[in-house]
Structure formats: C-alpha cells, structure tokens
Structure 1
C-alpha cells in the first residue's frame, strides 16, 4: 500500500490559517473601537501576537516531543497531576461551549441584517432560533455525522473570500489623515472610557485573544507535516499570517470611519462597514458568507466539547458515562449536557448588556487556564531536558497569558469558577468510580476545590451587587 505523504509547508501553513480564523474577525473593529484608538490597538496587536506565537511554539514543541499526549489537558496532567489535568480539561470544555454561545449571537446578528426581528441577536426571537439551531446541530453530531472535507472547504471559502475582499477594498478607501488624526487619544472618552493609552491597551486584550482561541488546533496539524522542520516553520508563518490578517481587518477601518462611528456600528461590524464602502451588495456578500461559515464552525465546535470530556473520561478525570458512546460512536451524555448548558446560557443573554462581548470574554478566560498550564509544562519539560531555548519560550507563553488575564479579565476568570463547581463533583465521582486515592479527594485537592468555590461565590456576589456587569 502506498504511504500517504504528509502536508507540505505551504499546505500546512494554509491549514494553520484557515483553521484558526472564525467569526471573531468579522466583529473586531467595532469591539476594539469601543475602547481604543488605532495607536493603542497596534501596540496591543504586537504584544498579543508575540504571546500567541510563544504559545503556538510551545504547543508545537510539546506535540513533537510528547506525541503520546492526547488533548490539551494532557500536558497539565502529565506535569502537575490529575487535578491540574481536570482543571485544564474542564476549562477547555467550558471554553468550547461558551464559544458556541458567541457563535449564536453573531449568527443571529447576521440574520438580523435580512430579518429585523433578529436585530441585535439577543432578543427573544433570536434566542428561540439560536436554541433550535443548537439542538439540531447536537442531534446531527449525536447521529455520528462529522464535518466532511467538502463542507470544510465550503466553510473556508465563505470565510476567506469576504474577508480578503473587505481588506482589499479597505486599502483603496483608506484615508491617512483620518487614521492619524487621533492616533493615540480617543475622540470620545464617553465611548472609549478615557484617553489613557494604558487603559486603551488593556481594553483590547480579551478581544484580541478571543480571535486566537483555537490556535491549539492549528498547532496539532503539525503532526501531519512532511517533516518536523516544516511543522515548526508552518506554525510561525501561520501565526504571523493570522496576525497580518487580523491587524489589517481591524485597523484599516480607522482610516475610513471615525472611531466614534466604528464603536457605534452594529455587529457584525465588518458587514455594515463593507456595505458603507461598496453599497448594499457588500452587506449581503459578507452576511451570506458569514452565516454559512458560522454554521460550519458551530458544527465542528459542537463536537469539540464532547470530544474533550470523552478524552477526560478515558484518563479517569471524569466518570465513565462521559465517554460512553452510542451506536453511532457519539458521546450522547456529553453532547446533551453541553447543549443543555448552552441553552441555559442563551437565556441568560437576554439580560446581558453586551451578549457577544460577555460570551467571548468568558470563553477566552476559560481557555487561558489551559494555555497557562501549557506554558508551565513547557517550562518544566524543557528544564528537565536542559533545553533553555524552549524553556524561555514557555516562560514567555505562560507569562503573557497570566499578564493578560490579570490586566483584562480577572473578574471573568472568577465568573468561570462558577462552572467548575459541578465539575468538581464529577471529578470526585470519577475518583470514587475508579478508586483513585481511595475514592477521595486528597488534602491538596480539597484546598484547591475550596478556593475555586470561594472565587465562584465571590463572583456571584460581585454580579449581585453590581460591581461586575454582564
């Protein structure tokens, strides 16, 4: 039998780029303009780009040197024990289905372009339709239907063609004078929250990190490379390519509209900006492509959280029923639990002031936990193998994630702790089922669990008292 050739450098780089680009890029400009002028935005892109590149290089290194690790949580488990593996895996699972909530809000906002009843994406009709879509996708995945190569190709085309068309037109209509007029200072402090460059920089971090959520999947493609050298090169070229695309898509509009106009434009912002640039057909062009792309991505991300809990069950971090498959090979319990939580969260969005930003912030905060563990394990593994270069890459990777979440999202990280409360129960049930440590939590695990509960309760109090708004 002829041996399959691996992906070439060009093919692998393209796969890294296309697998990472999601719906977030279509909403970037308005989200960023709500808090920052173009100067701080560019500064934030440099910092975030460097941090994400360090993370991707860490993932690539660990994938090549520890290929036996399955799932991103496996690094935390291998380096710091079962409870760390649970915390990382459960965080990844939380992030995956919270990402689907963000998909839902963008999808309904896009449909709102054609049907005004869905305008804004977070009213009752929007929640009803989004809920129906969520359960239909869950049913499809539960029937064992996976995204086919043909569908992935269609989704990729629907993402990239509108995106590149927008960037090309934005270059032609770009006005340098408008772009530089208020380069470092906000023209409307009421919109942006102040003129301080540091404050503006911080406002960008969570939004920018959100569009890189899923970069770990791109790094996993490295295992399909023709050579290990190509894997590392593709990771670097792919991340830099993504950074260029994101910077152009988010910054060029500052040279077409004022920051105040961009901040107030409806989401998904790219749709309405492009319509203003070229006319009505531009809005339709972006909207149709975005709707198809979101549905395809949502299908893939419906499988992702279920796959995560299934892997955790195989590692005995969750009870065995999380990994139990039906006759179609799908983990029914995990799928239904995830869909039910998405449903609850969709209803909560009715009371959220900015549903999309809230969902993306929680999704990003949850996955930061996993990324920090990746960086920490990269440090430990590299130190043990006396590889100082890789150790420093791990230090930068973990350091960036910690730095960003402290600056921009500690309160979101505390809110995520609420999601760990049922997870701790399931972790305890797994230890009991598999008779690990006598079927009980260790003293250290009890302490860590209590801390998570304290943070969760504190976040609930902050929401109830209005100190944190959703």
Structure 2
C-alpha cells in the first residue's frame, strides 16, 4: 500500500477520449433498470401516463445533464462532480453527505444488479427464486469479490472492458425494440393507453409512482463528471454527459412504449423480473426469453463494473481532498483506490444480506438506491442555481447566457425536490438509517484535521438526520416500514 501522492508522482494518469467517457455514461445508465421497465411501468400506469412520465423525466434529467455540463466548464477545478459541487456550494458537511450518499446509492444499486441476475437465473433454476434466496446470495457474494479483484488490476483496464460490454449489451435491447414493432398490436396498445379496464388511479398518482423508476434507470448521468480527471479535454465531460443521456432516453422510452403493444397492462404487470424477457417471449417464443436473459446478465455485469469504479472514485477523491479519512486515499501500484474499493465491496455485501428478508428485493433496492441519490443531485443542481443567482463566474458572459443557465438550474432543482416528494417518507427514513452512521467518517476526518465537528446549522442537520434514522428503525421494528 502506498499513498496517493507517491503513486501520482511516479505514475502518470492516462486519459479517456470522448467516446470512452460517453460509454461510461451509457454503461452506467443501461443496466438492470431497462430490462425491468415493461413490468415496472405496467404496475403503475398505462401508455398515456408513461408518455407524460418520460416527458417529465426526460426534461428534468436533461436539465440535470446541462447542469453537469455547465458546472464542468465553469468550475473546471472541481473533480468528482457530484460531491465536489455540493461541498463548494453549501459547506463541508453537506458536501460529505453528497459524497457519502452518492457512494451508498451506487452500492445499493449494485445489489439490485445481483438480484436481477439471480432472478433471471431463477426462471430456469428455482433455487435462485427472485434473487433473494440463500443460494442467490451465496453466488452473488462470489461475484462481488471476483469483480473486486478484477478492478484491483486497474481503472483504465476496467474502463476499456466496460466500453466493449456497453456495445454488447445494447444489441438485445435494440433487437427487442425493432422486432417488437413487427408484433405490435394497435388494439392492445389503445386499450393500455389509459391503463386498461377497471384501472382507476388518478393520472397524477400514476405519474408520481413512476418517478423513482425513471430516476433509477437514469442514475449514472453524471458518469463523465465523476471521471473528469481522466478527460482529455474539459469540454468532453459535458459533451459525453449530454450525448450519453439523449441516447439512453430514446432507448428507455422505446422499450416502455412498445411493450404496451405486446400484451394487456395487467399481464405485463404480473411478469417476473426482468420483465422484458417474458414480454419478448410472448411475441417470438422461447428463444426470445433466452436472448434477453443473456443480454440481462451481460448488461448488468457491465453496469456493475462501471458503478463499482464510480463509487470507489468518489470516496478516493473525497479523501484526497481531505473530506474523508485519509486512509481512503490509499492506492495500489495500478492507481486503483484500494481501501475505497474495499469499503465499496463491503457495503454491497452488507446490503445484499438484507435482501434475504425482503419480499421484493429488486423493488426494495431500486427505491432505496433512488432515494439515496437525490441529495447528491439536489446539491449539484442547487449549486448551479446559486452560481447563476449570485453571478459568480458570469462576469464575462452576456445576460442571455446567465438567464438561460439560471432557468436550467431552477428547473433541475425543482425537479429534484419533486423527486424527493415522490420517493415517499418510507424510503427517506431508510436513507437516514444509512446517512446517520456515515457521519462517523466525517467525525474522523475533522479529528484528523483538528477542526470543530459541526457548525450550528450542521449540528441541526445532523439532529434531523439522526431523528429520521431513529424513526426509520422504529418503523422497521413495528412493521410500519417493510422491505
């Protein structure tokens, strides 16, 4: 083990071109979520609600993409985007929360990948069930640590593997979209447009219920920003973010809408995850389920690799900037964040064990992952709004540019606040259970530097989060909150 400073002095950091950065964005977003979209959307809404949901999510997430693009250009000195922006805008404790929450969100999301892989295998091997059996957890544990040791061989090598996997996993998704169009039934689609017979949920309720799903599948939009220190040109960070987002939005919306033309909404809602596989089977036969299932495994493993890299990178950069304990900044001879990667794999392992007690392990990890990600996203959007409102970095720009970026930041901030509402109290309290003990790392950092632990408002924030954690634990104990 050597310190980051000594390794950096002796080993130059390789850079990534625009294509590789874009692949990191696409690879991060196209993972478990896209293969669950037919069933997940069908449980909450029909075709009309889906169209409106994608329009809202597309607009909101595009504004977030523009936020990351603008911040990458206006604050080129800030690396590991999500964490760095919250700290610069709102102080060290909220910056720590952003880094810790983003890391924890990535780890919980990685658990959802293992659940989906084992649920896919469970369709032919019943011992894996829906991804939450003893055998599923044991096999997933082997996978976690196999990836751990592969990443130890080097970030650049793993990123190259991810670029190849990104191309490979897009093939079954595109095949599903194109072939499903030939089996598309307009009468089925029309019947599903308003939800089907007997579906009485209000349109607002339908749309709100889909928001956590759309956020989950879009997680990773900031992938290029997190890896900004590897970009050949600073402008490539923003370009990769927007290019990757627009590509993925088209894929996600297409998968959702063509599924409504395959079978009735109620039947789609009852499919076992990954629902794309049985939906495709209904159109083309057994080979369709096998084809998609193989795509699920390839896709999920690629996304797991990308998110493991990003999670470790956030802890490493936070420690390097002295916002996490210094031991997290240690790297090996391949410039891999050694201790940060160990923490990442350990948290994935811990959350994986909780799926043994969950009735819907995939749904639980999906919603918890989304809820944890909202604070980091809100911090970035809020910082962009603060810069535009205070005119910082806008001295040499015309009023039109500032006004445009102010509107973008305001929409992104409003959208993120709406997502917090849509996530629901249950998952916000579960998030607090993870956030509260994470403050131990913040306390260790402050002690290393001989600084005061909290300012007055930071102490208030900690008390609120701690109270939320206590309420969450009480809810689990009484059965009010279930996983």
Residue-pair matches, total: 458
> Which of 304, 311, 319 pairs up with 1:298?
304
Q: CA deviation at 1:452?
A: 0.7
Worse overlay, 242-251 or 164-173: 242-251
* Aligned mate of 2:53, from 36, 44, 54: 44
Structure 1, 277-286 or 12-21: larger mean CA deviation: 12-21
Q: 8 Å contact 2:76–2:234 — kept in the other structure?
A: no
1:391 pairs with 2:406: yes
Distance 2:309 2:250 in 1: 29
Per the alignment, do residues 156 and 188 of structure 1 end up closer, same or farther by CA in structure 2, a change over 3 Å counting?
Answer: farther
2:287 to 276, 281, 291: 281
Quick one: distance in 2 between partners of 1:104 and 1:366? 19
1:283-432 alignment, distance < 5 Å: 283-385=289-391, 387-432=402-447
> What is the CA distance between 1:232 and its match in structure 2?
5.8
Residue matched to 1:35: 44
Whole-angstrom distance in 2 between the partners of 1:331 and 1:154: 23
Counterpart contact for 1:323–1:331, Cα < 8 Å: yes
Partner of residue 177 from structure 2, selected from 164, 167, 188: 167
Matches within 5 A, 1:90-169: 90-144=100-154, 147-148=157-158, 151-169=161-179
Instruction: For 1:200-219, list aligned pairs within 5 A.
Output: 200-218=206-224
The counterpart of 1:450, out of the listed 463, 473, 478, is 463
Residues 321-370 of structure 1 show CA distances to partners (whole Å, capped at 9, x for unaligned) of 11122445433333333322222221211111211111011111111111
Q: Is the alpha carbon distance of 1:131 and 1:203 closer, same or farther for their aligned partners in structure 2, counting shifts above 3 Å?
A: same
Residues 1:24 and 2:33 are matched in the alignment: yes
Structure-2 separation of matches of 1:54 and 1:330? 32
* Conserved 8 A contact 1:112-1:120: yes
Return the alpha-carbon distance in structure 1 between the equivalents of residues 293 and 30 of structure 2.
Answer: 16
Structure 2: distance between partners of 1:376 and 1:37? 33
Take 1:365 and 1:220, find their aligned partners in 2: how far apart are those partners?
A: 19
- Which residue of 248, 262, 268 maps to 1:262? 268
Would the alpha carbon gap of residues 148 and 305 (structure 1) be closer, same or farther in structure 2, given more than 3 Å must change? closer
Aligned counterpart for 2:92 among listed residues 79, 82, 98? 82
TM-score after normalising by structure 2: 0.88
CA–CA distance in 2 between the matches of 1:322 and 1:233? 30
* SS of the residue 1:28 aligns to: helix
CA distance in 2, matches of 1:331, 1:227: 23
Q: CA RMSD in A?
A: 2.5
Does residue 436 (structure 1) correspond to residue 445 (structure 2)? The answer is: no
Distance 1:139 1:13, change over 3 A: closer
Unaligned runs of 5+ in 2: 1-14, 395-401
Matched with 2:399 is none
Q: What's the secondary structure of 2:430's corresponding residue?
A: helix
Distance 2:313 2:34 in 1: 26
Of the structure 1 ranges 66-75 and 305-314, higher mean CA displacement relative to structure 2 is found in 305-314
For residues 153-190 of structure 1, what are the alpha-carbon distances to aligned partners after superposition, in whole Å with 9 as ceiling and x for unaligned? 4312321110000000111111111111142245465x
301-310 or 16-25, larger mean C-alpha shift: 16-25
Structure-1 separation of matches of 2:409 and 2:94: 17
1:112 Cα offset (Å)? 2.2
Distance in 1 of aligned mates of 2:406 and 2:384: 6
In the other structure, the counterpart of 1:60 is: 69
How many angstroms does 1:309 deviate by? Answer: 1.1
- My pick for the range that moved more, 142-151 or 209-218, is 142-151
In the TM superposition, residue 224 of structure 1 has moved relative to its aligned partner by 4.9
Q: CA 1:239–1:171 in 2, change beyond 3 Å: closer, same or farther?
A: same
- What's the secondary structure of 1:70's corresponding residue? coil
Distance across 1 between alignment mates of 2:211 and 2:312: 28
Distance 1:167 1:77 in 2: 42
User: Is the Cα–Cα contact under 8 Å of residues 99 and 315 in structure 2 kept in the other structure?
Assistant: yes
1:149 and 1:376, CA in 2 relative to 1: closer, same or farther beyond 3 A? closer
Alpha-carbon distance, 1:37 to partner: 1.4
* TM-score, length of structure 1 as denominator length: 0.90
Separation of aligned partners in 2, 1:156 and 1:325:
27
Of the three residues 442, 454, 459, the one matched with 2:472 is: 459
